Amino acid sequence: MTNSKLSILMIKIQYKNNGQVKRRSKFMDSNYSGSCLCGKIRYEFGKFKTNPNHCHCSMCRKFHGAAYGTYGMVGLKDFVWTEGEEFLKKYQSSSDVERGFCSVCGSSLYYRRTTQEKYIDIAIGTLDQDLKTENLPTQHIFVQNKPNWYQIDDKLEKYSGFPERKT
């Protein structure tokens, strides 16, 4: 087995906590972890597929209750729910988009295009740590849908829809 394959190897440990079996998984090179507001749902992943973006579409704004939602694409092979997957609820917001949230506290956790089964876009606001410099958001998407009360005043790239992704 090569070092690159070993670096994404998951080690699963089962343990009991207050009578519940919880799954605890670690990537050997896990860079990020996150959780919902109440802490019932937790996740970890190794790396981003692409840098995060700020999405201004009306669905992301409503899902986050903010001027935009910030998401980072992660390969599902590099991602694991470590606790509380049973609390995860899914909402089909359009024909090819699923959004995941905590059924207890309502935290927005992810966005996933069902046509891209190998990837999940994690809501960056649910991370437990700051982004590394090389993983900072690089673009705003669906900028024509931004609310009139918000002005984009940074120098990030701006797109009227999805930029082309290398998948």
Question: pLDDT, tens digit, for every residue of 55-67?
Answer: 999 999 999 999 9
Provide the pLDDT for residue 20: 39
Is 145 a residue whose pLDDT tops 70?
A: yes
Residue 153 has pLDDT above 70, yes or no: yes
Banded model confidence at residue 14, pLDDT cuts 50, 70, 90: very low
Q: What is the percent of the chain with per-residue pLDDT over 90, rounded to a whole number?
A: 75
DSSP state of 107: -
pLDDT-derived band at 30 (thresholds 50, 70, 90) equals low
The SS3 of residue 61 is: helix
AA identity, residue 73: M
Other C-beta atoms within 10 Å of 113: how many?
16
CA 53, CA 71: separation in Å to the nearest integer?
Answer: 6
E strand intervals along the chain: 10-17, 20-27, 32-35, 42-45, 53-55, 69-75, 79-83, 88-94, 97-102, 108-113, 119-123, 139-141, 157-158
Mean pLDDT over residues 140-144, rounded? 96
pLDDT of residue 48 exceeding 90: yes
Average pLDDT across the chain, whole number: 84
CATH 2.170.150.70 fits 14-158, yes or no: yes
Mean pLDDT for 71-79 is 95
- Buried/exposed 136-145: b ≥16 CB within 10 Å, e otherwise: ebebbbbbeb
Reported as a pLDDT band with limits 50, 70 and 90, residue 29 is: low
Long-range contacts of 130-139 (CB under 8 A, 24+ apart): 131/52, 132/31, 135/48, 135/51, 135/52, 135/72, 136/51, 136/52, 137/51, 137/52, 137/53, 137/54, 137/70, 138/51, 138/52, 138/53, 139/51, 139/53, 139/54, 139/163
pLDDT at 19: 37
- Which sequence spans correspond to the domains of the chain? 14-158
- What's the CA gap between 51 and 54, in Å, rounded? 10
User: What integer is the mean pLDDT of 82-103?
Assistant: 96
Specify the pLDDT at position 31: 86
Q: What percent of the chain has pLDDT over 70?
A: 80
Pairing of strands 20-27, 53-55: unpaired
What the block records as the tokens of 116 is 């891209």
Q: pLDDT band at residue 165, thresholds of 50, 70 and 90?
A: low
CA distance 13 to 125: 27
**Is the pLDDT reported for residue 3 higher than 50?**
no
